[in-house]
Amino acid sequence: MKLVGAALSIGVAFGLNQLTRPEFDTHYDPAEYSQPSGTLTLTHAGGTLEIPLMTTHIVTVDVERFGRRYKIRELTLRAADGGTTPQAELFASLQATGADLLDGAHDPGALVQSELPLVRLGRLGARHSFIVLNGTQASEIVTGTLFLTDVIQVAGGPRPDYHAEGRIEVQVQTARGVDMVTGKWSGRVVWDATGT
């Protein structure tokens, strides 16, 4: 009887945890997922892999759930894929860059020369950072950094467009163990303040 009670308590706790867990994800126009607007060039195991990227989004949004506020501050590099499973999706945390940058002018130029840590999980834990290096097997991120070397504004208006360049160093889990992957990226960047 005690075993049944313990199992029931664990089940109820798990259910409550799932119910109160905050959720957040972004969805963009379907054309944006398939239209390349940048490139991620990776060096791995002596070879080079070039991945076309969709627009890079910087997301700064607060999600409230049962009176608690969760801050999402991340930059997403995602392969252009036409809405299917992408060849790469990487989340870089902006938490350490400071509140002025995140809640102020929304100018990605303030991120130049910033070393942004790549995180294993983005979107409040809903999505994994990964790269498909060979075939269809996704290699999950162990650790890594994204470094912005240059950001130039190319269009103004209420939602300005930017072009950015940077470097990437990441350790990924492969079938052989943990491998180092390095590379560079460039492409269009927009600041998605609302997350929609």
Is residue 107 assigned to a domain?
Answer: yes
- Does residue 46 register a pLDDT over 50? yes
pLDDT of residue 161: 87
Is residue 117 assigned to a domain?
Answer: yes
pLDDT band at 59 (very low <50, low <70, confident <90, very high): confident
pLDDT of residue 173: 92
56-65 and 177-192 strand pairing: parallel
CA 66 centroid distance within chain: 25
pLDDT band at 182 (very low <50, low <70, confident <90, very high): very high
pLDDT of residue 31: 86
Is residue 4 assigned to a domain?
Answer: no
Number of domain units in the chain: 1
Per residue in 88-100, is it b (16+ CB within 10 Å) or e — as a string? bbbbbbbeeeeee
Is residue 20 assigned to a domain?
Answer: no
Is residue 116 assigned to a domain?
Answer: yes
129-179: per-residue pLDDT in tens? Answer: 999 998 888 999 999 999 999 999 998 887 788 999 999 999 999 888 999
26-41: per-residue pLDDT in tens? Answer: 778 888 888 999 999 9
Is residue 13 assigned to a domain?
Answer: no
**% of the chain beyond a pLDDT of 70:** 79
pLDDT of residue 99: 46
Is residue 11 assigned to a domain?
Answer: no
pLDDT of residue 17: 43
Containing structural domain, residue 58? 25-192
Distance (Å, rounded) from C-alpha 80 to C-alpha 153? 22
Phi then psi for 56, rounded to 5 degrees?
A: -80, 130
Is residue 103 assigned to a domain?
Answer: yes
